[in-house]
C-alpha cells in the first residue's frame, strides 16, 4: 500500500475524501473542505526550498502546496513578488522599516493568481469541463486568464456596476463568459453555489481548498524573504476571508514543519461599511452577522464572508486582531502608497491604513517588524484614480489635478513658477 501524501478533510465533521474528489463541500455535512498533507521531510526542508529553481513562486513550494501536481501545473508563472521598503511609508505609518509584500506584481495584477494556478491545475486533473466563480473582479480576471491557458471554458458571475473597469475588462478580454447580476457580491456568491451544484461546473471561489493552498505561498515566500525569521505582524485586507484563512494555514504549517519558531500575529483589516468579521471579533467571535456592504474598496465590498469560521480560527491561533478603517482612511493610505511610487488598488491600501491605525492605538509598536500585504495593482481601479485626482475630486486635499494649458512655453513657465518649481 502506498502512503497517501495529500487528501481533503472537512473542517466541521472531520470526514475525509480523496485528493481528486471534486465535491465543492463536505458530502456528509456541507462543511468546508481543507487540503491536508502528510508531514514533509523536515530535515533540510529550508535548503530544498532554497534550491528549487521553479520559475513560479507558488510551485517552488510545490511539496508544501500540492506535491502530486508539480509536474502538471497550469502556471503562468506567478508569485515571486517583491518585499518593498519605502521610508516615506514607514514614516507615514510610524513603524520603522515597514515592509510591503506587493502581490500586484502577479501576472493578472493580484494575489488571486497564486490560488488560481493551483485551483486550475486541480480542475484539469479532475477533468472539469467548465470552471466558474463569483467575484468582485480580481478572482474573475485570474480565473479567465488561467482557464484560457488550460483550455477550459470559464464562467464569471459579478455584480453589475460594482466591478472596476480594469477588472471587468480583463475578465472579458481573457474570454470568460461573464454574467452581470442585478445584486451585490453576496447575491452572486449565493447564485454561484447553486450553479455549481445544479449545473456541475467546477467552483473556483476561495471555498475551493486548492485555491487556499496556492495563497499560502504569499506567507511562505515572505517568510523565506525574511530568512525564516518571522515578522511580528502580517497585515492584510479582508473580504470573503479566504486569504485570512490561507495565511492562518500557512503559519500553522510553517510552525509544524519547523520553518519558523514563532507565529507572526495576523491583523485583518476590513472597510468600515463592510466589516462583519471585525464586528464578530469585537464580540469574541460569537457569530457572524451579515451586513449590507458599502465601501469605495469594491474588492472587499462583501457582507457575508464564506470562510468566516476558518478565518476566525486563524486570528485566534495567531493572537491576531481584526479592525475596520473608513473609506477616507483607505483613500489617504492609497494616496500615500501611490505617491511613494509603489501604487495599489483601494482594498490593498486598507492594509496600510490598518497599520497606521494599530500603531496609533499602540497595538503595533514603532520597532515591531511589520509586513503589510498589497493585494492588487494600482491600475485595477483607474476609476478611483480619476475620482481622486481630477475635477470634482472626492478627496480635494489629496488631489494632484492635471493642469490644462495652451501649447505654449510661456504657459509652462507660468505653471512652474506658480508652483515654485524651477527649470535648471
Ligand atoms: N484584496 C483584493 C485586491 C481582493 O480582490 C480581495 C478579494 C481581497 C483583498 C480580500 O481577500 O476575499 O480572501 O478576504 N477579492 C475577491 C474577488 C472577493 O472576487 O476578487 P479575501
Q: Does the Cβ of 278 fall within 6 Å of ligand 1?
A: no
**Per-residue pLDDT at 77:** 98
240 close to 302: Cβ distance less than 8 angstroms: yes
Nearest CA to ligand 1 atom 6: 299
Distance in Å, CA 323 to ligand 1 centroid: 16
DSSP for 54-77, written as a single string: -S-TTGGGHHHH-GGGGGG---S-
**Per-residue pLDDT at 424:** 46
**Per-residue pLDDT at 1:** 46
Q: Which of 196, 372, 180 is CA-nearest to residue 267?
A: 372
> φ, ψ for residue 34 (rounded to 5)?
-120, 150
Is the pLDDT at 2 greater than 80, yes or no? no
Q: pLDDT digit string (tens) for 342-395?
A: 999 999 999 999 999 999 999 999 999 999 999 999 999 999 999 999 988 999
Q: From start to end of 82-152, where are the E strands?
A: 83-85, 99-102, 131-134
Q: pLDDT over 70 for what percent of the chain?
A: 98
For residue 376, give the ligand 1 atom closest to its CA: 3
Cα(42)–Cα(158) distance, rounded to whole angstroms? 43
* Confidence bin at 4 (pLDDT 50/70/90): confident
Q: pLDDT over 90 for what percent of the chain?
A: 94
* Confidence bin at 197 (pLDDT 50/70/90): confident
Candidates 2.40.50.140, 3.40.50.1100, 3.40.50.1580, 3.30.930.10; correct CATH number of 83-106+211-384? 3.40.50.1100
Distance in Å, CA 18 to ligand 1 centroid: 28
Distance in Å, CA 238 to ligand 1 centroid: 7
Q: Which of 72, 178, 196, 209 is CA-nearest to residue 130?
A: 196
* Confidence bin at 420 (pLDDT 50/70/90): low
Q: pLDDT digit string (tens) for 52-106?
A: 999 999 999 999 999 999 999 999 999 999 999 999 999 999 999 999 999 999 9
Q: Does the Cβ of 368 fall within 6 Å of ligand 1?
A: no
Q: Does the Cβ of 215 fall within 6 Å of ligand 1?
A: no
Distance in Å, CA 128 to ligand 1 centroid: 24
Which among 243, 268, 303 is the best mutation to test ligand 1's pocket, defined by most ligand atoms within 8 Å of the CB? 243
Average pLDDT value for residue range 287-310: 98
Is the pLDDT at 323 greater than 80, yes or no? yes
Average pLDDT value for residue range 3-8: 88
Averaged pLDDT score across all residues of the chain:
96
Distance in Å, CA 237 to ligand 1 centroid: 8
Distance in Å, CA 109 to ligand 1 centroid: 12
* Confidence bin at 419 (pLDDT 50/70/90): confident
C-alpha cell at 396: 480635494
* Confidence bin at 191 (pLDDT 50/70/90): very high
H or E element in which residue 236 lies: strand 233-237
Q: pLDDT digit string (tens) for 110-136?
A: 999 999 999 999 999 999 999 999 999
Q: pLDDT digit string (tens) for 225-279?
A: 999 999 999 999 999 999 999 999 999 999 999 999 999 999 999 999 999 999 9
Q: Does the Cβ of 142 fall within 6 Å of ligand 1?
A: no
Residues near 382 by Cβ (< 8 Å), separated by ≥ 6? Answer: 164, 165, 166
Q: Does the Cβ of 196 fall within 6 Å of ligand 1?
A: no
Cα(238)–Cα(247) distance, rounded to whole angstroms? 11
* Confidence bin at 39 (pLDDT 50/70/90): confident
Is the pLDDT at 423 greater than 90, yes or no? no
Distance in Å, CA 403 to ligand 1 centroid: 35
Amino acid at each position: 500500500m502506498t502512503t497517501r501524501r495529500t487528501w481533503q478533510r472537512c473542517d466541521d465533521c472531520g470526514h475525509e475524501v480523496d485528493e481528486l474528489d471534486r465535491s465543492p463541500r463536505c458530502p456528509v455535512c456541507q462543511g468546508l473542505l481543507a487540503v491536508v498533507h502528510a508531514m514533509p521531510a523536515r530535515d533540510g526542508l529550508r535548503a530544498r526550498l532554497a534550491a528549487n529553481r521553479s520559475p513560479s513562486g507558488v510551485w517552488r513550494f510545490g511539496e508544501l502546496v500540492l506535491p502530486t501536481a508539480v509536474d502538471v501545473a497550469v502556471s503562468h508563472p506567478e508569485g515571486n513578488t517583491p518585499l518593498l521598503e519605502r521610508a516615506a511609508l514607514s514614516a507615514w505609518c510610524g513603524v520603522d522599516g515597514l515592509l510591503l509584500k506587493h502581490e500586484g506584481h502577479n501576472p493578472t495584477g493580484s494575489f488571486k493568481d497564486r490560488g488560481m494556478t493551483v485551483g486550475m491545475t486541480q480542475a484539469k486533473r479532475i477533468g472539469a469541463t467548465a470552471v466558474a466563480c463569483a467575484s468582485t473582479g480580481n478572482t474573475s480576471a485570474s480565473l479567465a486568464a488561467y482557464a484560457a491557458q488550460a483550455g477550459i471554458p470559464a464562467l464569471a458571475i459579478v455584480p453589475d456596476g460594482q466591478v472596476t473597469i480594469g477588472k471587468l475588462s480583463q475578465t472579458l478580454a481573457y474570454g470568460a463568459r461573464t454574467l452581470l447580476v442585478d445584486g451585490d457580491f453576496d447575491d452572486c456568491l449565493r447564485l454561484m453555489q447553486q450553479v455549481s451544484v445544479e449545473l456541475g461546473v467546477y467552483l473556483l471561489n476561495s471555498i475551493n481548498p486548492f485555491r487556499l493552498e496556492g495563497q499560502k505561498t504569499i506567507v511562505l515566500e515572505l517568510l523565506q524573504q525574511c530568512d525564516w525569521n518571522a515578522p511580528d505582524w502580517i497585515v492584510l485586507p479582508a473580504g470573503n476571508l479566504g486569504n485570512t484563512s490561507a495565511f492562518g494555514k500557512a503559519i500553522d504549517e510553517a510552525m509544524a514543519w519547523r520553518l519558523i519558531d514563532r507565529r507572526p500575529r495576523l491583523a485583518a483589516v476590513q472597510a468600515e461599511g463592510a466589516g462583519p468579521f471585525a464586528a464578530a471579533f469585537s464580540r469574541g467571535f460569537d457569530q457572524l452577522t451579515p451586513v449590507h456592504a458599502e465601501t469605495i474598496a469594491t474588492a472587499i465590498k462583501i457582507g457575508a464572508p464564506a470562510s468566516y469560521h476558518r478565518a476566525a480560527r486563524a486570528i485566534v491561533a495567531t493572537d491576531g486582531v481584526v479592525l475596520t478603517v473608513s473609506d477616507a482612511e483607505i483613500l489617504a493610505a492609497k494616496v500615500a502608497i501611490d505617491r511613494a511610487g509603489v501604487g495599489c488598488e483601494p482594498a490593498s491600501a486598507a492594509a496600510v491604513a490598518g497599520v497606521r491605525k494599530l500603531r496609533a492605538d499602540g497595538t503595533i509598536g514603532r520597532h515591531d517588524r511589520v509586513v503589510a500585504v498589497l493585494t492588487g495593482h494600482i491600475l485595477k481601479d483607474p476609476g478611483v484614480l480619476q475620482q481622486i485626482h481630477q475635477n470634482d475630486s472626492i478627496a480635494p486635499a489629496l488631489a494632484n489635478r492635471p493642469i490644462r494649458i495652451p501649447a505654449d512655453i510661456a504657459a509652462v513657465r507660468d505653471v512652474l513658477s506658480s508652483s515654485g518649481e524651477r527649470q535648471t
